[in-house]
Structure 1
């Protein structure tokens, strides 16, 4: 046993991942949100990806654009040009108007240009009419940047879909994979994934889940952890990664321990 593993849970190094960027302050999935997250000290940036009608990989969470833009429609039925004509910032406040839809490749370049290593945690969204083409396009972009084999340690992929994880393992077996969990599942070990991602609601209801996942040899990433008491709970349970909309506040809380 090394010295690090003997330290109490609250003193361990816990990764902070910015959920859709610093999305408590800025519109989610915008360059402003991600640049703020980098400035706030996030270890990695979380994003959701979908395919447009013309097969562009964009960072959008919802199937439809109504919640986060001034437009209407289904992402997969719209071209990148159509999405680019929408305002993806105004819903968060007048000062954010004019933010455009973000190409995944542009986010990747932003992370790579940071003055320190900044990772990406990429969730492929399902169900979608794109099916397996979504994972194929993601891996293609990562290969173009030399990041699909996992050796750089900068990218991990995530999904609630077991089939998506199976496809990702087939296309890029070296990429670390996170099985996202909303409800308690049996068996606890996900397919082709060394990491588990339970939601904070589930962890609150069943704190013993973290220990059971770790007993299976899985590291644990918990989402979306914004409240100080939930950060403390994650620390007590020995969670490895906290995914949050508030990376600066969480970082400050961890550094104050």
Structure 2
């Protein structure tokens, strides 16, 4: 299945990590700002609460150290945490959603119906019927469950931060994913010293494409986003949507 019209720009946590132009990450305002800036996709981080709600939050804990999975939704509201439903409502249906699933240790022992993926699957099926959508995760078990329960939904494996390119591409293909998502630092950023044995970007993209994978990188700056696009990369997840779009236009 083809997911992207390359090259596409995905707003990281909305308009970018942290607070960008007054918009806090993973909030409706940030999602709308990313769309207004020209992103054709928005990336959101999804995790579960103690009372089985799905909320949008990258970090596993609040600033005071309390774990999201230990707290009911009501206790998270004062910290600006929004639900998956509220996030989806803020993103126009013509804009794709990259759902980054943050499974938790407690999923290993929770009843099957309370695990993150069991709670998330109905929402994924619903949204996949009305917009472009794919699911990425560091947890291969989450992707395997989607392949089993909702094979119509594309998946992307994110091996880990600064993941080796060899394992990323081969692993995503072996898992049966449609996409491989690779940390920009794994390719070597502009100005980095050469790394012995590290393949060039265009070589890696070529192997991924021959394996039937599309390839996404997170989070290159405008210079590297343009370099990756020149190498044939399908999409980039970025913190500077306007800057990356301008760099792509100047190619």
TM-score w.r.t. the length of structure 1 is 0.79
1:79 maps to what in 2?
72
- Superposed, 1:52-71 pairs within 5 Å as 52-66=49-63, 71=64
Report what 1:239 is aligned to.
233
How far residue 72 of structure 1 moved from its aligned partner, in angstroms, is 3.3
Q: Which residue of the partner structure matches residue 176 of structure 2?
A: 192
Distance 1:20 1:110 in 2: 13
Aligned partner of 1:139 among 121, 125, 132? 121
Distance in 2, Cα, partners of 1:243 & 1:160: 15
Residue in 2 that maps onto 1:122: 99
Structure 2 counterparts to residues 151-230 of structure 1, below 5 A: 151-182=129-160, 183-184=163-164, 185=167, 187-188=170-171, 189-204=173-188, 206=199, 207=201, 208-225=203-220, 227-230=221-224
In 1, the alpha carbon distance for the partners of 2:174 and 2:45 equals 20
Deviation, structure 1 residue 109 = 1.3
- TM-score using structure 2 length: 0.81
Deviates more, 1:228-237 or 1:48-57: 228-237
Post-superposition offset of 1:178: 0.8
Give the Cα–Cα distance (whole angstroms) in 1 for the partners of residues 206 and 6 of structure 2: 18
1:104 is the counterpart of 2:104: no
Q: Counterpart in 2 of 1:37?
A: 34
Q: Is the Cα contact below 8 Å between 2:183 and 2:217 reproduced in 1?
A: yes
Query: What do you get for the CA RMSD once the two structures are aligned?
Result: 1.9
Given that residues 47 and 102 in structure 2 are in contact (C-alpha distance below 8 angstroms), is that contact kept between their aligned partners in structure 1?
Answer: yes
User: For the Cα contact (< 8 Å) 2:222–2:240, is it kept in 1?
Assistant: no
- In structure 2, runs of 5+ residues without a counterpart are 189-197
CA apart distance, 1:229:
2.1
Partner SS, residue 105 of structure 2:
coil
Decide whether aligned partners of structure 1 residues 75 and 241 sit closer, same or farther in structure 2, where only a CA change above 3 A counts.
same
Kindly indicate whether the alpha-carbon contact (under 8 Å) linking 1:22 and 1:246 is maintained by their aligned counterparts in 2.
yes
Residue correspondences, number: 221
Q: Deviations over 1:42-90 (max 9, x none)?
A: 1111011110000110111111112xxxx4300000110001122xxxx
Q: Which runs of 5+ in 1 are unaligned?
A: 1-11, 87-99
Q: Within 1, Cα distance between the matches of 2:119 and 2:67?
A: 19
